[in-house]
Chains A and B, each alone.
Chain A
Amino acid sequence: MKILVAVKRVVDFNVKVRVLPDGSDVDTGNVKMSMNPFDEIAVEEAVRLKEAGKASEIVAVSIGGKKCEDTLRTALAMGADRALHIETDVPAIEPLAVAKLLAQVARQEQAKLILLGKQAIDDDANQTAQMLAALLNAPQATFAGKIDIGTDEITVVREIDGGTETLALRLPAVVSTDLRLNEPRFVKLPNLMQAKKKPLEKSTPADWGADISPRLHTLSYAEPQPRQAGVKVANVAELVSALKAAKAI
């Protein structure tokens, strides 16, 4: 079974981003970039499935600027077999456009399972996997906390408000990963060196016949009103009387 994993290059989760003074964009110059944490989990799951003999090949795909190559090399170092880089300078490609491109890739690759992170930590959209499943007319299991592969069905435990839900999906299927699915492995230097020898194929959105022009206009970016630090109280009695005075209790 072939697995397709989609990975995104985003500002590292530890970075506190700033908005440019004119509000025209988020300042992403000279900040640390990493693979989206949910996508790392997707790659890890694919690699574990291959190690367990459930998958034959793992293809990693990323869409975006030249530097996405680094993200794909990380996926290859984690254990993906080959990578596809759909290169474009179009900034902030919308989930629907990404889903259209991924649908083309999934069809060409005849992937049985497509793994994505449940959301990217930059746009926080949480849309791409669901949109991709719709375009492929494939079943979806979002927010996966556990995946079991059967012969022509997979069973997925999903994280939902209030608990979990278990679904069985016909293959091919699209699954988006939640944080609980696994703990991604640490990439060792020798693996990174080996990853440089693995195939990485370049193409452009036009090669896939997909229009990725934005449908929505972002008018401006702003930082939220900062919460002011309040006061430190000396003891519990002071805390309770302060809360009473503030009518919080």
Chain B
Amino acid sequence: MTTLVLAEHDGQTLQAATRNAISAAARLGAVDVLVAGDNVRGVAQAAANIAHVRTVLLAQAPHYAHQLAEEIAPLLVSLAEPYDHLAAAAGSFGKNIMPRAAALLNCPQISDLTEIIAADTFVRPIYAGNVLATVRNPGGKLVLTFRASAFDAAADTGGSADIREVPATAAQNLSRFVRRDLTESERPELTQAKVVVSGGRGLGSAEQFDALMTPLADTLGAAIGASRAAVDAGYAPNDYQVGQTGKIVAPELYIAVGVSGAIQHLAGMQGSKTVVAINKDPDAPIFAVADYGLVGDLFELVPQLTDALKQV
């Protein structure tokens, strides 16, 4: 089995989740990596250094600069012939591009898979993570997206893959990139962080969210997440959202503050190793999945916890 993994990058750096996708794909056999962009030889070099990578395919053209699905999907299709699987990490990047390539190839896709049973059999969560489906591809090419938090990252050194330039496909010009607005943050990336502190509606306002969650996160070197209720209420930006419709995280430690624990939220964090819940409602569903629960007023407890952690 050979797999072509589509690398996610911002033109300068390879996104960390690509390394998780590479290590997952390596369990299926040989792995080649496609780096597409404009002037991205540096990214290709970084991909070539990653453990398990056999060859890096480098496709450079101005119309690949913004990684539009309309431009990248035909490129994947032009390279697909020798591969059994086309794959990417299941972030917003992979979710956007891979199904388009699958349809052009008339082949099915298995999304967001969390376990490899055999080269043709995979496990993926459905119904917001409440059910695990074991799915088999009876034959033919297959498109896969891997849930990054379910697979270890491949080491970013130890590889010595060749870089091979491949011809660019013709520009489609169906869509036009206008702008990108990224949330500025010095913190670890939410889906990769070892510790995540997550705030819910219980925080009451954007000011209180910031005043309580930021010092706690700083003390732990943690990423900050939020429940959908907190995001909808405007306490935290959209891309902080953890859950079925937001990001899936599986850190070593997940601290849920003022989060009730709706099914939708649990889908995004129940793979965490240790879960702590701080909530004033002793019957909140979050306590049913928390290893350590603390019932009480979060406005008193969170500053106390932040202070206590500073002493550790």
Residues on A close to B: CB < 8 A? 11, 13-14, 16-17, 19, 26, 38, 94-96, 99, 118-119, 121-135, 137-143, 145, 155, 158-170, 173, 178-180, 215-224, 227, 229-233, 235-237, 239-240, 242-244, 246, 248-249
- Is the beta-carbon distance between B109 and A125 smaller than 8 angstroms? yes
- Is the beta-carbon distance between B178 and A166 smaller than 8 angstroms? yes
Task: Answer whether A233 and B103 are a contact pair too, CB < 8 Å, given A17-B131, A141-B175, A243-B274.
Answer: no
Tell me the complex Cα distance, A240–B294, Å: 11
Task: Answer whether A248 and B293 are a contact pair too, CB < 8 Å, given A127-B99, A142-B96, A162-B183.
Answer: no
- Is the beta-carbon distance between A126 and B178 smaller than 8 angstroms? no
Contact of B253 among A13, A235, A243 (CB under 8 A): A243
Tell me the complex Cα distance, A96–B100, Å: 10
Beyond the given A168-B176, A216-B137, A231-B291, could you list 14 further A-B residue pairs with CB under 8 A, ordered by the A residue number? A94-B108, A96-B106, A133-B69, A139-B174, A142-B96, A159-B238, A162-B239, A164-B238, A215-B140, A219-B121, A219-B135, A222-B131, A230-B291, A246-B274
Contact of A169 among B174, B183, B228 (CB under 8 A): B174
Minimal Cβ-Cβ distance residue in B for A162: B182
- Is the beta-carbon distance between B108 and A218 smaller than 8 angstroms? no
- Shortest distance between the CB of B30 and any CB in chain A (Å): 23
Chain B contacts for A137, CB-based, 8 A: 174
- Shortest distance between the CB of A1 and any CB in chain B (Å): 18
Give 9 closest A-B pairs by Cβ, nearest first: A230-B291, A130-B99, A131-B103, A134-B103, A139-B174, A127-B99, A139-B175, A163-B182, A166-B178
Docked complex: B55-112 residues within 8 A CB-CB of A: 68-70, 73, 91-93, 95-104, 106-112
Can you give 12 A-B contacts (C-beta < 8 A)?
A96-B103, A119-B245, A125-B111, A126-B111, A131-B99, A134-B104, A160-B239, A163-B181, A163-B183, A218-B133, A221-B133, A224-B270
Q: Is residue B288 within 8 Å, beta carbon to beta carbon, of the partner chain?
A: yes
Minimal Cβ-Cβ distance residue in A for B15: A161
Q: How many A-B residue pairs have CB under 8 A?
A: 251
- Is the beta-carbon distance between B134 and A229 smaller than 8 angstroms? no
Main SS class of interface, A: mixed
Tell me the complex Cα distance, A180–B245, Å: 10
Chain B contacts for A160, CB-based, 8 A: 92-93, 180, 239
Q: Is residue B208 within 8 Å, beta carbon to beta carbon, of the partner chain?
A: no
- Shortest distance between the CB of A76 and any CB in chain B (Å): 26
Could you say which of B21-29, B37-45, B158-166, B300-308 contacts chain A? B300-308
- Shortest distance between the CB of B253 and any CB in chain A (Å): 5
Tell me the complex Cα distance, A87–B154, Å: 46
- Shortest distance between the CB of A8 and any CB in chain B (Å): 14
- Is the beta-carbon distance between A170 and B175 smaller than 8 angstroms? yes
Chain B contacts for A134, CB-based, 8 A: 73, 99-104
Tell me the complex Cα distance, A85–B18, Å: 41
Q: What does the 1/0 interface line of B215-256 toward A look like (CB < 8 Å)?
A: 000001000000010001000011100001101000011000
Minimal Cβ-Cβ distance residue in B for A240: B308
- Shortest distance between the CB of A156 and any CB in chain B (Å): 9
- Is the beta-carbon distance between A227 and B275 smaller than 8 angstroms? yes
Chain B contacts for A125, CB-based, 8 A: 109, 111
Chain B contacts for A95, CB-based, 8 A: 99, 109
Contact of B238 among A38, A180, A242 (CB under 8 A): A180
Docked complex: B115-155 residues within 8 A CB-CB of A: 121, 124-138, 140
- Is the beta-carbon distance between B102 and A236 smaller than 8 angstroms? no
Docked complex: B262-312 residues within 8 A CB-CB of A: 263-264, 270, 273-276, 282, 287-295, 301, 304-305, 308-309, 312
- Shortest distance between the CB of B303 and any CB in chain A (Å): 9
- Is the beta-carbon distance between B131 and A249 smaller than 8 angstroms? no
- Is the beta-carbon distance between A236 and B131 smaller than 8 angstroms? no
- Is the beta-carbon distance between A168 and B175 smaller than 8 angstroms? yes
Tell me the complex Cα distance, A60–B305, Å: 52
Task: Answer whether A131 and B135 are a contact pair too, CB < 8 Å, given A138-B174, A141-B175, A236-B308.
Answer: no
- Is the beta-carbon distance between A99 and B287 smaller than 8 angstroms? no
Minimal Cβ-Cβ distance residue in A for B291: A230
Chain B contacts for A155, CB-based, 8 A: 178
- Is the beta-carbon distance between B111 and A124 smaller than 8 angstroms? yes
Chain B contacts for A145, CB-based, 8 A: 238
- Is the beta-carbon distance between A232 and B295 smaller than 8 angstroms? yes
- Is the beta-carbon distance between A16 and B263 smaller than 8 angstroms? yes
- Is the beta-carbon distance between B125 and A222 smaller than 8 angstroms? no
